[in-house]
């Protein structure tokens, strides 16, 4: 009798440990709402003009418009993509693509659209499994709009 009670306690303790170890998954709306909070943590982060999640051609897309300062262009692009990768890894259903529209603060420069493969970008920024050169060549497409 006592051994059965101990066995039940051990099983319940193991189940509790498994539940605690499981990752919390968030809805698309919650992920989109986390992005501005992520940017608010850093006073050097670019200004967000728009955040949205949508589907297109069977792909799930996380879209972000930011205002870019030409003096910190590279850092702002990487910061935004890093934020998208960090937050999106907690989504209930993974994203396929990140779209980043970089709106220039100067009329002389054209806005740019960055399209990044989500899994590859998460592997680069979060898990450090992809090197910089491969990430730039295989995961990113940058075009003027």
- Predicted confidence (pLDDT) per residue in 80-130, tens digit: 999 999 999 889 899 999 999 999 887 778 889 999 999 999 999 999 998
What is the rounded CA–CA span in Å between residue 44 and residue 42?
A: 5
Q: Write the pLDDT tens digit of every residue in 50-70.
A: 999 999 999 999 999 999 877
Strands 59-68 and 97-104: parallel
- For 77, the token pair is 């692009």
What is the rounded CA–CA span in Å between residue 27 and residue 56?
A: 18
Model pTM score? 0.78
- For 84, the token pair is 């998208």
């Amino acid at each position: 009798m006592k051994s059965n009670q101990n066995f039940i306690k051990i099983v319940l303790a193991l189940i509790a440990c498994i539940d605690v170890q499981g990752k919390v998954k968030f809805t698309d709306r919650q992920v989109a709402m986390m992005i501005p909070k992520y940017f608010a943590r850093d006073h050097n982060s670019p200004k967000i003009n728009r955040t949205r999640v949508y589907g297109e051609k069977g792909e799930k897309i996380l879209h972000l418009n930011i205002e870019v300062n030409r003096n910190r262009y590279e850092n702002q692009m990487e910061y935004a993509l890093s934020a998208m990768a960090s937050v999106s890894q907690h989504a209930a259903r993974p994203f396929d693509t990140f779209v980043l529209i970089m709106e220039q603060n100067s009329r002389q420069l054209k806005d740019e659209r960055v399209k990044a493969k989500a899994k590859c970008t998460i592997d680069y920024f979060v898990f450090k499994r992809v090197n910089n050169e491969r990430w730039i060549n295989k995961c990113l497409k940058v075009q003027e709009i």
